Structure 1
Amino acid sequence: MKRMGYRMEEEGVNRFLGSLESLIMELMWESGDWMNVQQLRESLKSEQVYSVNTIMTVLNRLSDKGILDKHAAGRGRNKLALFKVMVSREDFIMEQTRNVTEGLIKDFGEVVVAHMMDVVEELDPDLLRKVEQMLQEAKMRNSDDNTKSSK
């Protein structure tokens, strides 16, 4: 899957995908099955009606990004493009947030970690406890690795 851009002003999956891309992906993740353009068009419960060409363009873009699999069914005039998710919503979010975090830490290191800790402390004390536990586990793994490599 390709690395997506990151839009600070958006929320959720919209931080990585455009609004119609996000809307289509939510429908695709919910379905989990092969869908064609017409099925998606009917599933879009939006006040705005999207053309088949617009939806097809977005589906092709999502396929190019490695998020959707594209399959052709039928022949000639009956040929139909079908699409299915290649990555779960959770895996998509996991990979994209890792890419953002990795880039920030690579470029700004200590400053980013300090800001992350400040934000975690302010917003979610339970998450702070989880971070402390993860740090302890990482220290133990690191200690175990050092002990093994010195033998």
Structure 2
Amino acid sequence: MKIRKFKLNESGLNRFFGPLEAKIMDVLWNDVEMTIKDVQQVLEREKSTNFNTVMTVMNRLVDKEILCKRLEGRSFLYKPLLSREEFLTTQSKEMTNELMDEFGNVVVSHMLDALEDVDDALVAKLEQKIKELKKGM
């Protein structure tokens, strides 16, 4: 699954999804499997969300290979193909690889500059990774 649009001006899941898609994914990542009606009822607590709109968006997420659905009785049950953590890991890795392929040294330079704002544990992890890479050379 490849997210085609990444929105720099957004935050959280809204960087990868539209607003309703993000809400639906948030609901589904907090449960095992749900019907469209189940998701719509959770979303309705926040504000009125039309069943048909939720159905359309959820089926588009299936088409995008973000959700899968299976028939149980007379209802379809939906669930994410990846956990939230797996999704975020996959997307961030893919974005990093694409940035490195396209902008190489500039990306590394900006990442190093950004290290000034991170905690010591992340810097230590980076140092360990660099040591491992050097051993493999």
TM-score by length of 2: 0.91
The match for 1:81 is 76
Aligned identity (percent) is 40
Consecutive unaligned residues of structure 2, counting only runs of 5 or more, are none
Inter-partner Cα distance in structure 2 for 1:54 and 1:2: 23
Are 1:92 and 2:87 counterparts?
Answer: yes
For residues 47 and 26 of structure 1, do their structure 2 counterparts lie closer, same or farther at Cα, with a shift above 3 Å needed? closer
Map residues 25-40 of structure 1 onto 2, 5 A cutoff. Answer: 25-31=25-31, 33-40=32-39
Per-residue deviation, 1:30: 0.7
- Tell me the secondary structure at the aligned position of residue 49 of structure 1: coil
Counterparts of residues 1-151 of structure 1 (less than 5 Å): 1-31=1-31, 33-44=32-43, 46-74=45-73, 79-140=74-135, 142-143=136-137
1:46 is displaced (CA, Å) by 4.8
Q: CA deviation at 1:45?
A: 5.5
Larger Rg: 1
Unaligned runs of at least 5 residues, structure 1: 144-151
- Counting matched residue pairs gives 137
User: Could you tell me how far apart the structure 2 residues matched to 1:54 and 1:6 are?
Assistant: 23
Contact 1:73 1:80 in 2 (8 A): yes
Task: Please state whether the residue corresponding to 1:71 is helix, strand or coil.
Answer: strand
SS at match of 1:44: helix
TM-score by length of 1: 0.83
Amino acid at match of 1:98: K
Q: Deviations over 1:25-66 (max 9, x none)?
A: 1111110x2211111111126532111111011111111121
Residues 4 and 69 (structure 1), Cα distance of their counterparts in 2 relative to 1, 3 Å cut: same
